[in-house]
Amino acid sequence: MKLAIQTPPEHTDFSRLRDLWQAADQLGFSAGFTFDHFVPLNPGPRQETVGGVPSGPQFEGWVVLAALGAVTSKLEVGTLVTGVTYRHPALLAKMAVTLDHVTAGRAVLGVGAAWHDAEHAMYGVDYPAVGDRMALLEETVEAFRLLCDSPELVSYSGRFVNLNDAVFDPMPLRPNGIPVLIGGGGERLRRIAARCADWYNGFWAPWEWDEVNKNLDVALARYGRQPADLKRTAFVFSELSGDQTASNELVAAFQANRGGTSEEVRSRVLAGSPDDMISVLRAYEDAGVEMVILNIRPSQQVEHLQSFAELVLPAVVGD
C-alpha cells in the first residue's frame, strides 16, 4: 500500500501547506493533493457562514498546487478533484501539462463531475444536470488523451467539447502521459473511470470496497481492460495528533455530516492510537485499496505528520 496526503487550501496559509508538503515529500508519502474549490467546504474556527457557505480564506487549488509541486521533488501531485465545469477542457489540459513540466513529470490530473451547486451559482458558473456533467467529464478526459497523445493537430467533436485543428505543445514528460484520476461515487462515474481513468478514488469504507472493486472489474472487462489497469485509491479523513478530544470531534463531525455509528466511523477514519490507525489501514489494504489518501485538516501540523510517519507508516508501507 501507498499513502498520500490531501491538504484542502482552506482556513490556512501557504507556509503551513509548504511545510506539510515538504515533510511528506521526505517522510515516505507517495502523492500530495489539494482540492479545487473557490470557497471553503468546512467550517472554520469561528463556525460562521457567509452567503450560505463557511466563512474564511480559501486559496485557488491549481495555483497553490503548482507552488507546492515546485518545492517538492518526489510526490506525485494533483487535485482531488477538479470539477470539469470550472474550466474549459483545453485550458485544463494545458494547466495539467504545465504542472507536469513544473514538477519534472509528477503531475496527476484529478477530475470529477462537480457537485457544489451553491458555488456555481454564486460565481455564475454553469451547472448542468447530472447526466450532462457526466457526459462533460467523459468528453473532457477523451479530449485530454487526444491532446496529450498526438503531436499532430487535434480535432474532437462531442456534445460539450469541440477541438478544431488544435495545437498542443509541449507534451507531458512521462512516456505514458499524465495519469488521470477520476473521483466520485456514482455508478455512471465509476463506469467512466473504468473506461477512461488510470486511477479511481472513492469515499468508501473498507467493508464496501469489495463490491465496488467487483463492479469496477466487470466494467473494466467490458472495455477490454484488466483489473490492474485501474489503481484503486481511498479518500480517508484523519486526525493524526493522537489527541483524544480532537479524535472525538472528528468522529462526531463525520457522524453529523455522513451518519454511521461511532464504531463504524472509527473503523474507516484514521484517529486514535497508532495501533488503531494501523488496523484501519490494513483493513483498506485487505479490501484491495492500493493507495489511501489522508485528508489533513487545517488543525493538523507537521509534527503530527512526522509522528504518524514514525509510528504508523512503516507498518503499512512496503519498500
Residue 186 lies in a domain: yes
Are the C-beta atoms of 292 and 233 separated by less than 8 Å? Answer: yes
The predicted-structure confidence for 270-284, as pLDDT tens digits, reads as follows: 999 999 999 999 999
Residue found by looking up cell 474556527 in the block? 45
C-alpha cell at 16: 503551513
Task: Please enumerate in sequence order all residues whose Cβ is within 8 A of that of 96, keeping only pairs 6 or more positions apart, or say none.
Answer: 107, 109, 144, 178
Number of domains in the chain: 1
The answer as to whether 123 is a domain residue is: no
Residue 304 pLDDT > 80: yes
> Looking at the domain assignment, is residue 143 inside a domain?
no
149 inside domain: no
Q: What is the pLDDT of residue 319?
A: 54
What is the value of pTM for the model shown? 0.96
The tens digit of pLDDT for each residue in 80-110 reads 999 999 999 999 999 999 999 999 999 999 9
* Separation in Å, CA 57 to CA 41, 47, 147, 254, 261: 11, 13, 35, 22, 32
Phi, psi for residue 107 in degrees, rounded to 5: -75, 145
Range of the domain at 8: 2-84+100-111+177-316
Instruction: Please give the mean pLDDT across all residues of the chain.
Output: 95
User: Between helices 89-102 and 61-70, what is the axis angle to 10°?
Assistant: 20
In angstroms, the CA 184 to CA 282 distance is 22
**pLDDT for residue 173:** 96
- CATH of residue 17's domain is 3.20.20.30
Assess if residue 221 is contained within a domain.
yes
Is 53 inside a domain boundary?
yes
Q: Is residue 11 part of a domain?
A: yes
